[in-house]
């Protein structure tokens, strides 16, 4: 296998402005929103020469529905999950599972609910 298997992730939203503000605040990034007719996408920043995949917030009334209990669980990589967790509730989200050690050789994880109602996870080595 030449690449990691995950190449792109789409996170459903029901309010693009609210979702953009939440993710921009929690991850300290600037999501670029692109209106493509009935589909609106908020692209996460991407570094071509760095490992990992990227993705988008997506808004479409018929194709995407936010959920905190169904569908895939997206994990964002982090230097220390606590950094992002400290910004989640101030940005309008809710912490579901605080920073938790998975195993010493695997690292830590946490889960939060975003402003759209999606479960989103974080992973870090420390």
Instruction: Report the chain's terminal Cα–Cα distance, integer Å.
Output: 28
Tens of pLDDT, residue by residue over 90-122, are 999 999 999 999 999 999 999 999 999 999 999
Tens of pLDDT, residue by residue over 26-47, are 999 999 999 999 999 999 999 8
State both tokens at 19.
């979702």
Show me where the domains of the chain are located.
Answer: 8-124
Which one, of 92, 120, 96, 118, lies nearest residue 18 by Cα? Answer: 92
The per-residue pLDDT for 1 is 62
C-alpha–C-alpha distance, residues 79 and 123, integer Å: 8
pLDDT at 3 over 90: no
For the full predicted model, state whether its pTM sits above 0.75: yes
The CATH architecture annotation of domain 8-124 reads Roll (3.10)
23 burial (CB, 10 Å; 0-12 / 13-18 / 19+) is buried
Tens of pLDDT, residue by residue over 57-103, are 999 989 999 999 888 899 999 999 999 999 999 999 999 999 999 99
The per-residue pLDDT for 51 is 82
The per-residue pLDDT for 101 is 97
């Amino acid at each position: 296998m030449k690449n990691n298997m995950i190449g792109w992730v789409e996170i459903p939203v029901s309010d693009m402005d609210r979702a953009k503000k939440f993710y921009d605040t929690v991850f300290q990034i600037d999501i670029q929103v692109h209106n493509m007719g009935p589909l609106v996408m908020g692209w996460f920043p991407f570094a071509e020469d760095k490992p990992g995949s990227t993705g988008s917030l997506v808004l479409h009334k018929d194709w995407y529905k936010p959920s905190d209990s169904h569908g895939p669980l997206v994990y964002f990589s982090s230097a220390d999950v606590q950094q992002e967790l400290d910004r989640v509730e101030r940005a309008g989200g809710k912490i579901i599972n605080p920073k938790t050690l998975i195993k010493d050789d695997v690292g830590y994880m946490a889960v939060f609910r975003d402003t759209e109602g999606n479960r989103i996870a974080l992973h870090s080595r420390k």
